Amino acid sequence: MHSSRRAVLARLIAAGIGLVSGIASQHAFASDWLQFRGSDTTSSSSEITPRPGDDSMQPAWEVATSGRGISSPIVVGDSVVVTSSGGEDERDLYIEAFSALDGTRQWLRTAHALGRPYTHPTSANASPSPASDGEKIVALFSSCDLVCLKTDGTPLWYRALAVDHPRTGNDVSMSSSPVILDDVVAVQLENQGDSFSSGIELDTGETLWTRPRPRRSGWATPIAVRLPDPAFVFQNSDGVELVAARSGELLATLDISGSTTSSPTWAPPLLLVPGDGITAFNLREPSFPIAWENSRLKCKSVSPVVHNGQVIVNQGSVIAAADFTTGESTWKTRMREVKSVWATPIATASGIYVVDQSGTITVVAEETSGTEGDDSATDKVDVLGTAEFTGPMLATPAVSDGSIFLRSDRSLIKLAPTTARESKPAAK
């Protein structure tokens, strides 16, 4: 169903989107983290970030969010953007931006959920992560309310997708996050009722296309690829669909049972599909052949990470890796402090950061044993250390400008290199 521009604007007013004044800088860092798992979905950064063993793992600042949420933060320019929800049945929706420098709140926008807001107690209406193209921000909530704003917080449009799809929802949460490619927003809303995917025009909020999805719950986030034409990848246990970004035309189907919780990862030329292990498809070759399969790389509830030629997966208290090109397993190590993980790890030049639901961060990295320059010296992947924060933490962190941004269910935390530390702002 297509919605007119006038109807989209009318819904913006009906939702009661409110404004709290603030000023956001137009400066954009080169290291923007624009969506769940980073701008390229690999959860990887080449930056040097804080490690255990010095005071840089102490918060540079911590601020309270306006409500609860398990969505991941994103970084757009000098702003860190998060969503949260609160009020009766978590029908009050919040989108807010904080200064990446000192945590000062730059703006806050509010809306009221028109869809079904109910979730499991460990989840929240604010479970999908926001996404940005660097100029606009889209925020989706479990209630299927979709909001678009400029990066300075100016509201552009609002869609109550549950109005068109009233049977969409589940009691755990609709956690799949939106993605943006070439001015098209893709959403994947899978459940036992009205299950569908849609492409929505970023500029106007109008529906470009809608495709039915299997009627069962799924939480995987779609990803954007270029074949070289722009396309979206939708994954579930029935298989993988590649859909043209603007027309919604089905381009190809990959016959594989994918995970309903872990999301695929695109690291050209390979599409990594988590399921019973990981299967890598080469999307640069005709008919998209399988490049390799590794049944040992089971992801459980998190998604594959690609970093420095390695595919890295978190298996609860175990973290394992394989060669990106061949799929051959390379190393595996156990993390004693890790109990329950829902956040996808992030990998930087300083190590791999695993976020336990309790709020404990475990950092794993390659360490050299023996004397440097000695031919007998060997490299070993091991736990460097841990740092404890107040949980619960179910959100994948963001990385920007050498800093890590953590999100608990009620706060946003910045970890910064010691030389970049700023004074903590007053609690808000």
* Residue pointed to by tokens 């068109």: 164
Q: Which of 56-70, 93-107, 113-127, 243-257 has the lowest mean pLDDT?
A: 113-127
- Can you give the pTM of this predicted structure? 0.89
Categorize the per-residue pLDDT at 377 as very low, low, confident or very high, splitting at 50, 70 and 90: very low
Short-list 103, 30, 114, 110, CA closest to 73: 103
Task: Indicate left, alpha or beta for 182 from its phi (over 0: left) and psi (-120 to 50: alpha).
Answer: left
Average pLDDT value over all residues in the chain = 88
Are 150 and 89 spatial neighbours (Cβ–Cβ below 8 Å)?
no
Q: What is the mean pLDDT of residues 101-110?
A: 98
User: Does domain 5-420 bear CATH number 2.130.10.10?
Assistant: yes
pLDDT value at residue 31: 82
* Residue pointed to by tokens 């962190």: 397
Within 74-217, where are the H helices? 161-164
Residue 426 predicted with pLDDT over 50: no
Question: What residues contact residue 360 under an 8 Å CB cut-off, 6+ apart?
Answer: 337, 338, 386, 387, 388, 389, 391
3-state secondary structure of 12: helix
Categorize the per-residue pLDDT at 6 as very low, low, confident or very high, splitting at 50, 70 and 90: very low
Are 404 and 346 spatial neighbours (Cβ–Cβ below 8 Å)?
yes
Distance from C-alpha of 213 to C-alpha of 210, rounded to nearest angstrom: 10
pLDDT value at residue 296: 94
Short-list 136, 149, 142, CA closest to 95: 149
pLDDT value at residue 301: 87
pLDDT value at residue 366: 81
Categorize the per-residue pLDDT at 324 as very low, low, confident or very high, splitting at 50, 70 and 90: very high
Short-list 306, 240, 242, 321, CA closest to 273: 240
Residue 81 predicted with pLDDT over 80: yes
Q: Which of 27-31, 324-328, 404-408 has the lowest mean pLDDT?
A: 27-31
